[in-house]
Structures are given as C-alpha cells and as structure tokens.
Amino acid sequence: MTLDVLDADRIARPETPWSALRRRVSGRYPIDPFGLDPQLADLCVPLFRAAVRVRVAGGEHVPSTGAAVIVSNRGFGIAEPAALGVAVQRASGRRLRVVGAPDLPFLGTATRRLGAISSSGPDVASALRAGHLVGIPLAPTWLRTGAGDAPVAVARALTLTPIVPAAVRAVGRLGSIVGAWEVTFGPMVTLPDPYDPNDPLAAARFTEAMRRAVGALLDGG
Amino acid sequence: MKARVLVTGMGGELGTRVAQLIEAREWATDIVGVDFVPPRRRLRRAEFRRIDPRDADRLSSFVADYAPQVVAHFGVYEPASRMTPASARERTDSCTAATMNAAASTGALEYVVIRSGLEVYGPPTGRVSVPDEDAVPAPTTPYGRSLLAVEAAAKGVALRCGIPVGALRYAPVVGSHVPSPLGRLLRLPVVPVSAVSDPPFSLLHPDDAAHAMVAAIERRLDGPCNIVGEGAATPWQAARLGGRVPLPVPPGLWRLVARATEVAGAALAPHVVDLLRHGCTGDASRARDALGLTRPTPTQDVLRELFDWADVVAIARAGEQAA
C-alpha cells in the first residue's frame, strides 16, 4: 500500500493527482507526530523547486542518513529556509525539518504540514532522536551580512548529533523570494577537545562554533 | 525474581489484559486484582476481589493483608469512559490513596508501576508539541490533574519506601473493547473537529499498553515513560478514515457541541476537547530504550481497528448454525 511507502525522512515522487485526491478524501495518508504530511509535502516539492532556484556547493557534507542539524544564516524573510530545504533535497534527497513553525492558527498548521517544527528545545531534541535532519536558522541579520546568534533554547539539543554549517546567499539582483540562491554546506562542526554532552558549557561552545563556521562560509563566498 | 502482584483496576480492559500476561510469567507467585466490576475475560491463576475503590477502608485492609511486593496500579479511571467525571475522580483518588498507603505500610513492597497519560503535559500551547519525559507537566484538564496527582502519590511511596516507581504516560488507549470517550466520539456519524487547526494526535493499542506495563515490572522502570503508538493522525483525517463526516467547530462553540454529543451517546470530556483542538503526542524514545517497545502499533492502524469493529454482531441461532 502506498500509505506505507511514504517516508517522513525522504522525498518521494509526487503521486498522480487522481490518486492523491482519492487518498486525501479517504484519509489514507501518513502524518507524523510533529504534523508533517509527507504526501502533501511531496506534492509541493515541484512548486518550491520552480519558485526557488538554488545552486548547491558542498552537498557531500549533508548526511544521507541519520539525525543531524544543519545550521544556516538568515536574512529577514522566509526565503532562506525554503532555499535551504530545496538545497538539502537536491544534495541528499532528504526532507529538512525547519525549526520555527509559528504558533498561529492556519499558518502554524500549514507550515507543520510541510515539515516545520517548533523552536522549543524539547521538540528539536525529539526530532533528532527520531532521526530527522533538522534545519536551524540562526537569528536574523537584517542587512544579510554575517551570521546571527544561535538560538539558546535549542542549544542543549545539539551536543549529541552532527552539525553541518550552511551559508545561504541571494545571488539574484534583488535576492527576493523568487530570486536565485546559492547554498554552501561546510564540513561538520566539532569541538577540538573531548566534552560531556550534558554539560551546558559544551552546548554554549557548540553554539559559538556553529556561528563561527557559518560566518566563515559566508566570508569564504 | 519472585513476586506477589496486586493489579488494581483489574475489571477494566487493560487491567484484565495485564493480569493475563502476568499469569504467564513464572516470577508471579500470586496475582490478585481488585475493582468494582469483574474482569473482562477468564483468568486462570489470578484471583479477583470485588471492592469498590470508594470503600477505602475495605480496600486498605485487603491490600495490607495481602502485602503485595509489586503493585500494577490501573485504578485510574478516565472521565466519561465508564462513569461520570466526578465519580471517576473520586474512585481514582480513593483507589490511589488507599492502595499506595496500605502497600507502603506493609514493608514488603518492592516495586510500583502506575498508569498515567500524556494528558499530564497539557495542551502544546507552550510550543512543545512532542514532549519527552523531561517536559514540565502542566495539565489543564481534570483528567490531566488527576493523573498528575496519582503520579505524585506514587512518588511519595518511592520516597517513603526507597523503591523504584514507574509511571507509564499512555497516549489515549483506543480499541474495539476499550470504553473510551475518544473512541465513542470518533464512531459517531458526524465527528466535531477544530475549525482553526487540525493538530496531530497519537493513539496506543491496548495490547501495547499491557505489554509495556509488564515490561516495566520486569525491568523495574523508574520514573515516567511515554508509551505512544507510532505516527499520528489528525481529527479530520481520523473522521475520514472511518467514513465519518468531519464537522468544523469554531473555538467558542465547543461547550454546545459537548452537549450535542452527550445527547448522541458520546460524552465529550475536557481532555478529549483538548486533544481535538490542540493535539496530543509524545516522544516515545525512552519506551524504546528502557522497555524494548520498538514497534508499537501505528496510530492509524489503531484507528482502523476501531472502525472495523461492527456495531452489531449478529449471532446465528443454533438451528441456523447446524443448517
């Protein structure tokens, strides 16, 4: 049954409209505990790919299986997470669970259906324990220069999983939502010396290392 | 390991299933259950004592005489499942207090495991939508508060006796033989759903609930543990899976809808309204690691089983069967 084939982690080829519609009406589609609707998300993939043109560099750094965090810079809009999601799909075929689903009627439900999760530390930790690839945007930098601060709420969730830095840059003339983007992934962020994963200080050092790694990718471009 | 086991709430579907599973274990030297209704299936080794939990003195003296080494506490009654919310609260409080105090006073107690629920976390308005066991409980419904009180009482026993105490926070248990307000509501021809959101909720199969309880006893689980079926479903989707008609309800009209569903035979308890409006899921990774619950029945399969259950089972007469 197709119901079992749809995967919360990997993008699948969209179904035919008739088959998709029949399953929507009969309720036969999967939902994950965070609210992701893989069937709906797969149907939207071609739209995102057409709307957000992305060039990818360093795609080999994106893990093909298992839990990992991708940390990226952010301007002020929603375009960066969308560009990052498309880049991850292109590099690994995986779905990116972007942190920051708004706690609002309709909009919250809609973003969760497409794979977003809330920005609370426990939810990020749960998603990582479930083996998802989680995208964490750094704090906004209004002028799009450099990397913002790492979100403190999720810091404790990050010490047990690989962290991949990513730089998202607008390469179009205006860098608008429908413009072209370049996404560069860097090598995994590590600490130079051994650390205790439960140590809050280690979490703080990780967040700083993340910010520096993303900044270095942005400067390198 | 040899143990005398007491199963409170043995007359419920889960209590009976747990008793059946424990009967097959060699470590259980004696199994005794109490409840105000008899067990739902035939039990071969276990003994049953019919005691209404509201009769706290009788229950206390029985537990003290039996001096159990292991207590599996299913004497936690869900509002609007088999009784009114007030009666459920009264029975839960009385059963918990009498059993815990009496068992702790005997000096023989080695382990306690209690039934709790994801309702202790409250609705996910604090932005945590998939809570793990470290999330701070903040129940907003009478049932959630009642479960948290049971957990607190069990923690008191742990401190007093210096023994491990497990709290299994079950997702809503739904099944064809489990009386549940959610199950009854989903089987109505028209199912009320939220008009402004369609949040995910997870369910638990009764067999998984029973196996988790026995695993907790055998592994001496200490502390809370979420027991949740795989995946999730949304209220709208659940209604459609059963071929029902979803009825979107605006935020201010839930009280009216609760009246209507009660008239239709499915009383709508506040924790069920919370589930329909805000969802109800939990992180089950601790159950996987600590109890070996690796492949619990998926939520949507639990729903299918609920909807596959026939409303009326026609039993052929003896003459017709022979023909």
Instruction: Quote the pLDDT of residue A5.
Output: 44
Tell me how many residue pairs between chain A and chain B have CB atoms under 8 A apart: 88
Question: Are B129 and A118 within 8 A, CB to CB?
Answer: yes
For residue B232, list chain A residues with Cβ-Cβ distance below 8 A: 31-33, 35
Instruction: Quote the pLDDT of residue A153.
Output: 67
* B322 pLDDT above the threshold of 60: no
Interface mutation vs chain B, best among A2, A9, A31, A114, most B CBs within 10 Å: A31
Q: Which residues contact A17 (CB under 8 A, 6 or more apart)?
A: none
* A3 pLDDT above the threshold of 60: no
Instruction: Quote the pLDDT of residue B223.
Output: 96
Query: Tens of pLDDT along A185-203?
Result: 999 887 777 777 777 787 7
* B320 pLDDT above the threshold of 80: no
* A2 pLDDT above the threshold of 50: no
CA distance B267 to chain A (A): 25
* A52 pLDDT above the threshold of 90: no
* B35 pLDDT above the threshold of 90: yes
Of all residues in chain A, the percent with pLDDT exceeding 70 is 86
**Taking residues B53-66, what's their average pLDDT?**
96
For residue B129, list chain A residues with Cβ-Cβ distance below 8 A: 33-35, 117-118, 120, 123
Contacts of B293-296 with CB under 8 Å at 24 or more apart are B293/B208, B293/B211, B293/B212, B293/B215, B293/B227, B295/B230, B296/B204, B296/B205, B296/B208, B296/B227, B296/B228, B296/B229, B296/B230
For residue B126, list chain A residues with Cβ-Cβ distance below 8 A: 120
* B140 pLDDT above the threshold of 60: yes
CA distance B132 to chain A (A): 7
Most confident residue range from A115-124, B77-86, B151-160: B151-160
For residue B255, being part of any structural domain is answered with no
List the structure tokens of B219: 């592994």
Interface check A103 vs B, CB under 8 A? yes
For residue B241, being part of any structural domain is answered with no
DSSP string, B235-287: HHHHHHHTTPEEEEE-GGGHHHHHHHHHHTT----HHHHHHHHH-B----HHH
For residue B252, list chain A residues with Cβ-Cβ distance below 8 A: none
CA distance B275 to chain A (A): 13
For A131, name the nearest residue in chain B, comparing CA atoms only. Answer: B285
Q: Where are the domains of chain A?
A: 53-220
For residue B191, being part of any structural domain is answered with no
How far is the C-alpha of A72 from the C-alpha of A213, rounded, in Å?
Answer: 10
Are the C-beta atoms of residues A189 and A206 closer than 8 Å to each other? yes
For residue B129, being part of any structural domain is answered with yes
Please report which confidence band the pLDDT of residue B199 belongs to, taking 50, 70 and 90 as the band edges.
Answer: very high
Total number of domains in chain B: 1
For residue B187, being part of any structural domain is answered with no
Question: Are A33 and B197 within 8 A, CB to CB?
Answer: no
* Weakest-pLDDT range from A1-10, A71-80, B217-226, B312-321: A1-10
For residue B322, being part of any structural domain is answered with no
Label residue A93 left, alpha or beta by phi (over 0 means left) and psi (-120 to 50 means alpha).
Answer: left
* A207 pLDDT above the threshold of 90: no
Instruction: Quote the pLDDT of residue A102.
Output: 83
Are the C-beta atoms of residues B286 and B133 closer than 8 Å to each other? yes
Interface check A123 vs B, CB under 8 A? yes
Q: Where are the alpha helices (DSSP H) in chain A?
A: 2-5, 17-26, 38-51, 79-92, 107-113, 121-129, 200-220
* Weakest-pLDDT range from A71-75, B235-239, B241-245, B251-255: A71-75
Please give the residue range of the domain that contains residue B51.
3-176+203-229+281-296
How far is the C-alpha of A111 from the C-alpha of A35, rounded, in Å?
Answer: 9
Instruction: Quote the pLDDT of residue A178.
Output: 59
Nearest beta carbon to residue B200 from set A26, A31, A129: A31
For residue B147, being part of any structural domain is answered with yes
Q: Give the CATH number, domain containing residue B102.
A: 3.40.50.720
For residue A26, list chain B residues with Cβ-Cβ distance below 8 A: 240-241
Question: Are A105 and B130 within 8 A, CB to CB?
Answer: no
How far is the C-alpha of A97 from the C-alpha of B287, rounded, in Å?
Answer: 24
Regarding pTM above 0.80, the answer is yes
Please report which confidence band the pLDDT of residue A13 belongs to, taking 50, 70 and 90 as the band edges.
Answer: confident
* A144 pLDDT above the threshold of 70: no
**Taking residues B88-97, what's their average pLDDT?**
96
CA distance A206 to chain B (A): 22
ipTM reported for the complex, 2 dp: 0.85
- CA A74 from chain centre, in angstroms, equals 12
